[in-house]
Amino acid sequence: MNDVLARLSELLEQRKSADPTSSYVAKLYAKGMDSILKKIGEEATETVIAAKGGNKDEIIYETADLWFHTMIMLAKADLKPQDILLELARREGLSGIEEKASRGKQD
Domain boundaries defined on the chain: 9-79
Q: The domain 9-79 is classified under which CATH number: 3.40.50.300, 1.10.287.1080, 3.20.20.120, 3.40.640.10?
A: 1.10.287.1080
Answer whether residue 104 shows pLDDT above 90.
Answer: no
Residues 100 and 34: beta-carbon distance below 8 Å: no
Q: Strand (E) positions, 38-107?
A: none
Q: Per-residue pLDDT tens for 44-85?
A: 999 999 999 999 999 999 999 999 999 999 999 999 999 999
Residues 15 and 26: beta-carbon distance below 8 Å: yes
pLDDT computed for residue 107 by the predictor: 55
Q: Per-residue pLDDT tens for 17-50?
A: 999 999 999 999 999 999 999 999 999 999 999 9
Q: How confident is the model at residue 95 (pLDDT cuts 50, 70, 90)?
A: confident
